[in-house]
Amino acid sequence: MLMGQMMQRPLLVMDLLKFGAETHKTAEIVSVRCEGDLHRQTYPETLDRVGQLGHALEALGLSSGDRVATLAWNGHRHFELYYACAGAGMVCHTINPRLSPEQMLYILGHAEDRVVFFDLTFLPIIEGLKAHLPEGMRFICMTDRAHMPEASVDLLCYEDLLAAQDATYDWPELDENTACGLCYTSGTTGNPKGALYSHRSSVLHAMYTGLALQTGLYDGSRILPVVPLFHVNAWGLPYAAPLMGASLIMPGPALDGASLFKLMDGEKVNSAWGVPTVWLGLQGEIANQGRTPDGLNQVVIGGSAAPRAMIEGFESQGVGVCHAWGMTEMSPIGTTGILPSDARDLPFADRMTLQAKQGRRVFGCELKIVDEAGKALPHDGEAVGELYVRGNAIVSGYFNNDDATAAAIDADGWFGTGDVAHIDKDGFLSIQDRAKDLIKSGGEWISSIDIENVVMAHPEVANCAVIAAPHPKWDERPLLVVVPAGDTKIMLDDVNVLMEPHFAKWQWPDDVVFVDALPLTATGKVSKLILRQTFADYQLPDLRGT
């Protein structure tokens, strides 16, 4: 074999920011801070502060390979930590502040974090955890001297640490396989499991994302990540934005519809990224104001299935929707819903049908679906199986967790996502459910996502979820849980009318129940686990014989 003669240069995270600072000098990071102000800094200014932070981390006694925990909102200081840790060969370990104290303690212990950087909002969490953490753990409050809080714990001040340091840092030339980031899945079943990202995987993922999402992510674009830096790397935006020349508009703790609308409007955000529950809030504010935020022309929706009614709502208001799918273990983006050129002019309804799917794979992520015996199934839009993925930005195992690794990786090295899906001949992925949320009725599967999609279109439904309720004959039957939009409540007969054109009769829900709000997971998704527990003893009407 004739070998190529090309340079072998490592793919390093710091080079993304250096590139942004050199070639996209005016792009900025705008942050709503916990202190209450709106802060701005350019990429060159950010690079200087990251240099100061790199020195500060070393002054704290940290060195290569050490894990640095963060408990923080989306903001410039959190972004700085991503880069300073990576640049100095350390690992930025983002922790989801919505996890339970037990889960946080498990994660901090498992990761062997040496220090915790936290936003002002999260001081009570730190004070609660302190007694259970190892001696010698340091806590750095991400604010300036004037805003340092009274605390029962010894705290260091972020801005003081930086002020003492030089902005020039001679970043080491690391091996590209060095770890740079760590994020644990929210662990709805069992303990959280860690995905340990490398410089190489993060840089490649930034390039894959930039390529796939350049309709919203480009030189001069202004992106608002509602998706948090504390989970799933904010879908890779901290890495992709400086590469592509996009500004990041960071919302901090203010994630309600009215605050997001105001920030988008004021900052001329063109593209905003987040989970469906967040967009329900924004849609409410759009209805209040009778207009969309000035300049907003794209929302990227992922994390759980974007209801078709939500996609249609945005699209008919002139805001394009890109539906994306991925997971923590995939850095996280696997597929995006940017349509192929020949589908962009389809009639509205046909286009919506395509956009309600989870999209096509990004370069660098291969997809396969398999049956229960592990045999690959055809991509014909019909065969349904468990989804496996393979690629350079996908975990080859979990951090220090051999059992979880063995359960997730198949004999050919593919990663099992735990999602059940079909893929059509054009490569469009349709997630049917998480395997554990599928409803198994008399040995047949019913997709809760498909039913939710249809029910969400009804004007009397503000939000809904379909869960499995126990049934003496059929094992499980679908139960529809609805948050009513107003005073009138949708009846089962109305639901049946909605179902009729789309589903076989045995797939229709057996009953409707009403709740004021759906319970959410730590990552802002509807918690079907809690719903199933709530309705575990629910007596379904005997519609189908016992």
Footprint on this chain of ligand ADP (rule: CB under 6 A): 185-186, 232, 302-305, 323-325, 327-328, 332, 358, 417-419, 431, 434, 523, 525
What does DSSP assign to residue 307?
P
Chain centroid to CA 360: how far?
Answer: 18
Give the shortest CB-358-to-ligand ADP separation in angstroms: 5
CB of 327 to ligand ADP, least distance (A): 3
User: Least distance (Å) from ligand ADP to the CB of residue 195?
Assistant: 8
The strand pair at 179-184 and 91-94 is best described as parallel
Coil, strand or helix at 475: strand
* 371 to 91, 334, 445: CA distances (angstroms): 37, 21, 13
Beta carbon of residue 233, minimum distance to ligand ADP (angstroms, whole number): 10
List active site positions.
Answer: 185, 329, 440, 445
Residue 272 CB burial class (10 angstroms; 0-12, 13-18, ≥19):
buried
Q: Are 233 and 79 in contact (CB under 8 A)?
A: no
Q: What tokens appear for 255 in the block? A: 């994630």
Burial class (CB in 10 A: 0-12, 13-18, 19+), 164: exposed
Length of the chain in terms of residues written: 546
If the CB atoms of residues 39 and 434 are measured against ligand ADP, the closer one turns out to be 434
- The strand pair at 320-326 and 298-301 is best described as parallel
Q: Minimal distance in Å, beta carbon 194 to ligand ADP?
A: 12
Q: Rank residues 396 and 488 by Cβ distance to ligand ADP and give the closer one.
A: 396
Other residues' Cβ atoms within 10 Å of the Cβ of residue 546: 8
Q: Which is nearer to ligand ADP, 96 or 270 (CB)?
A: 96
The closest alpha carbon to 180, from 49, 82, 110, belongs to 82
Q: How far is the CB of 45 from ligand ADP (least distance, A)?
A: 31
Q: Give the phi and the psi of residue 148 in degrees, each rounded to 5.
A: -65, 130
Helix (H), strand (E), coil (C) string for 402-462: HHHHHHHECCCCCEEEEEEEEECCCCCEEEEEEHHHCEEECCEEECHHHHHHHHCCCCCEE
Complex with ligand ADP: residue 50 or 522, whichever CB lies closer: 522
